[in-house]
Amino acid sequence: MNNIRNFSIIAHIDHGKSTLSDRLIQTADIVSDRDFQDQILDTMDIERERGITIKSQTVCLPYTANDGNIYFLNLIDTPGHVDFTYEVSRALASCEGALLLVDASQGVEAQTLANLYLAMEHDLVIIPVINKIDLPSADAERVKKQINEDLGLDPETAILVSAKEGTGIDIVLEAIVKNLPPPSGDPGAPFKALIFDSHYDAYRGTIVHIRVFQGKIKAGNTIIFMSSQAAYKVEEVGVFQIERLPQNELTAGQVGYFIAGIKTVSDTRCGDTITIKDRPCDASMPGFKESKPVVFSSIYPVASDGYEELAVALEKLKLNDAALIYEKDTSKALGFGFRCGFLGLLHLEVVQERLEREYGLSLILTSPSVQYELIMTDGSKFTIDNPALYPDPSGIVQTKEPFIRAAIIVPDRYMGAVMNLCLDRRGINTNYQYLTSDRLEMIFEIPLAEIVYDFYDTLKSITQGYGSFDYDLLKFRETDLVKTDILINGERVDALSQLVHRDKAEKRARQVCGKLRDEIPRQMFKIAIQGAIGAKIISRKTISPFRKDVTAKCYGGDITRKRKLLEKQKKGKKRMKMVGQVMIPQSAFLAVLKTDTD
């Protein structure tokens, strides 16, 4: 056990986590250079393109240290986005140490801080690593100062690397061996392991990623999940070396996987504890909770006969995405679809993109909503996330909405801009403190509904990319909610209804009407687009009918140009959905989804 090190890399998006992982893997020599592909742990196209890790991966690196001994370094990769904080915490719970990666030019950001707090909660030993020292804008001294002042870590222990150029990688590997403690745990005690991830394999079913804390596991054992008491017979155990490498057994301290004929990843719970049925351990690992979706949206196929295909695609996606939940939904305007729950807006976008890209579907998504708690006059209480199910408001006594605690770190010159943004989003500034002489951390309590649109993008743009953001969910608080409807030529389009705070309703309705006016093509008749609360019209836009054209001449050389113009128009208007008499392009629904700017 002394030759095992279990560690994660914690970092803000873009600080180079994937590149550093690649270098560590390369140095450990388990992948031939020929097979090496940049960002080897990010296996999905979307992950590579967006530069984020959605599905974490684990890899066991054999490393011969300067002391001549061979060590097994288990790198447990973590998802890199605020939507996946719980998954990060489970991965960290499986480690003894962590590399804290900071970009030499960007410095410490909110997510770095949040993840560092998570790591500290698990008593991990932290090795600060300053990356991208090859950049001209790198300022390692300033970052060291931040590491000292913002994070309270010893700046002298920081290792300077350029993952891109491969400098400093050996020092990192040596530091992992020397400075991180080996795992502890009695191999002879009853088996106890933590599930920190799982993924689906088309041939073998669910591959469960575990960290063994005590005891041993091998093929033939019957294990039980402590949360559900479900029992499975283990078919195979092993470790990850990019590919799965079967082992006779996994013992205390090791990180690896087991396969036990589990059909979907939803049958396993990240953070759950497993043990062996015949000789169970006494208690579960602490900190288990079910990850709960916080953002909801309905997904409909554009093609009226696309429901079955969508159902099949969601089912397949769900095999590998335990956090995704869905149930059947119907809309008068859009037909059959699914109401889905997501961990956050990024999660929603990833699911949408995967459905479109990997399954070739054209989708319409309804405006994302959070969950509200309603207390009715008869004393009953229920939660609602779907505007279509919003009851008669006269029967509602009280409505509550979820709040978050947002931590934002910015250079102090953006303080005013951030303050305005958060106040505009109904936020309350509870606290702020200078981390260094010119950087401050601002804490806000903001309704979750206000951040599900484009909060993060707006924050990035008003702070010119310097603002960073992290959040925790708080309790529900009382609110004043209304349902805004959109009427097209007098017909209510249920898929465009939204639940909005009363103060925001008019502005929002106006924005939606404006977007629809821009996206819906002119037709032969005038189209009225109205926003309404109940019977009260709060905004109105019209699309005038066909417009007269200026006609150019059109001979041999003009034809291609003219056709290209028409092709462009056709592309913008493709995938139309007939709603009543009006054709609404998919782009109109998508534009509404993102609206929160004037």
Interface ranges with other proteins (CB under 8 A): 303, 362, 521-524, 546-557, 559-560, 562-563, 566-567, 569-570, 573-576, 578, 583
Nearer to other proteins, 271 or 301 (CB): 301
Q: Are strands 222-225 and 70-76 parallel, antiparallel or unpaired?
A: unpaired
Nearer to other proteins, 286 or 556 (CB): 556
Hey, is 212 helix, strand or coil? strand
Contact between 576 and 586 under an 8 Å Cβ cutoff? The reply is: yes
Within 8 A by CB and 6+ apart from 470, the residues are 82, 85, 110, 111, 113, 114, 406, 407
Nearer to other proteins, 244 or 575 (CB): 575
CA distance readout (Å), 26 to 282, 411, 470, 585: 40, 36, 32, 48
Closest approach, Cβ 82 to other proteins, in A, equals 36
Q: Which two tokens stand for residue 445?
A: 């309590």
Nearer to other proteins, 171 or 554 (CB): 554
Nearer to other proteins, 357 or 522 (CB): 522
Nearer to other proteins, 303 or 435 (CB): 303
Closest approach, Cβ 353 to other proteins, in A, equals 19
Nearer to other proteins, 152 or 556 (CB): 556
Nearer to other proteins, 304 or 597 (CB): 304
Closest approach, Cβ 300 to other proteins, in A, equals 16
Other Cβ atoms within 10 Å of 478 Cβ, number: 11
Q: CA–CA separation, 7 vs 17, rounded Å?
A: 13
> E strands, 226-313, where?
231-233, 236-241, 243-247, 249-251, 255-259, 273-276, 295-301
Phi, psi of 594 (to 5 degrees): -100, -5
Closest approach, Cβ 306 to other proteins, in A, equals 10
Closest approach, Cβ 567 to other proteins, in A, equals 6
Closest approach, Cβ 329 to other proteins, in A, equals 23
Hey, is 28 helix, strand or coil? helix
Closest approach, Cβ 557 to other proteins, in A, equals 5
Q: Are strands 396-411 and 58-64 parallel, antiparallel or unpaired?
A: unpaired
Closest approach, Cβ 302 to other proteins, in A, equals 9
Q: CA–CA separation, 167 vs 129, rounded Å?
A: 12
Q: Which two tokens stand for residue 524?
A: 């032969």
Phi, psi of 124 (to 5 degrees): -80, 150
Nearer to other proteins, 383 or 581 (CB): 581
Closest approach, Cβ 553 to other proteins, in A, equals 5
Other Cβ atoms within 10 Å of 548 Cβ, number: 5
Nearer to other proteins, 23 or 577 (CB): 577
Nearer to other proteins, 291 or 362 (CB): 362
Q: CA–CA separation, 226 vs 483, rounded Å?
A: 42
Contact between 5 and 176 under an 8 Å Cβ cutoff? The reply is: yes
Closest approach, Cβ 301 to other proteins, in A, equals 12
| Strand-pair partners of 233 | 222
Within 8 A by CB and 6+ apart from 220, the residues are 233, 234
Nearer to other proteins, 230 or 576 (CB): 576
Closest approach, Cβ 488 to other proteins, in A, equals 17
Closest approach, Cβ 552 to other proteins, in A, equals 4
Nearer to other proteins, 443 or 576 (CB): 576
Task: Encode 395-420: b = buried (16+ Cβ within 10 Å), e = exposed.
Answer: eeeebbbbbbebbbbbebebeebbbe
Closest approach, Cβ 70 to other proteins, in A, equals 56
Closest approach, Cβ 526 to other proteins, in A, equals 13
Tokens 């994302």, located at residue: 368
Within 8 A by CB and 6+ apart from 229, the residues are none
Nearer to other proteins, 289 or 522 (CB): 522
Within 8 A by CB and 6+ apart from 47, the residues are 39, 53, 54, 55
Phi, psi of 315 (to 5 degrees): -60, -40
Of 106, 97, 129, whose CA–CA distance to 20 is shortest?
129
Within 8 A by CB and 6+ apart from 426, the residues are 446, 447, 450, 501, 503, 504
Other Cβ atoms within 10 Å of 500 Cβ, number: 23
